[in-house]
Amino acid sequence: YSLYPHTRLGYLFYQRQVKKARERYPHGHSAPQPCRFPGVKILPIPVLSNNYSYLVIDTGSGRAAVVDPSDPLAVQAAVEEERVMLEAIFCTHKHWGADLPVRRDHSGGNAALRQQHSSCKVYGSTLDAIPELT
């Protein structure tokens, strides 16, 4: 496992897995149901073949945050379908170092989503060197 999260080989393997998962599961690997609480909706977004990002929606205001946006295309599709304004990205961690050109793991969608949602803030640990932190 230590090769996967810390090396170029692991990063290349991950990129290949993202591509294969998009081809195999164009609408996600499962059909998860949202969780609803008073004023809040949490929508799991299937990514890869066995992982999730989460869109957390303030149902009163239509504002939202996403947790670990691995696949920006899947997250953006959910944002559009829910008709919400993405205001924040929360990254729990990332795997590959800053020397790699694109980090498509838990923080893989940060840059693309910030381009589409310019006022969106990115939160995460500075120790993890999360890309696009604001």
Contact 47, 71 (CB under 8 A): yes
The list of the chain residues with pLDDT below 50 reads 101-103
32's tokens: 């998860």
38: Cβ contacts below 8 Å, ≥ 6 apart: none
- Domain interval for residue 107: 3-128
**Domain of residue 113, CATH code:** 3.60.15.10
Cα–chain center distance at 124: 13
Question: How many structural domains are present in the chain?
Answer: 1
Residue 92 placed within a domain: yes
- So what's the pLDDT on residue 31? 75
- So what's the pLDDT on residue 2? 59
Tracing tokens 């640990």 back to the chain, one arrives at 125
- So what's the pLDDT on residue 6? 62
- So what's the pLDDT on residue 104? 52
Q: How far apart are CA 76 and CA 72, in angstroms?
A: 6
Residue 134 placed within a domain: no
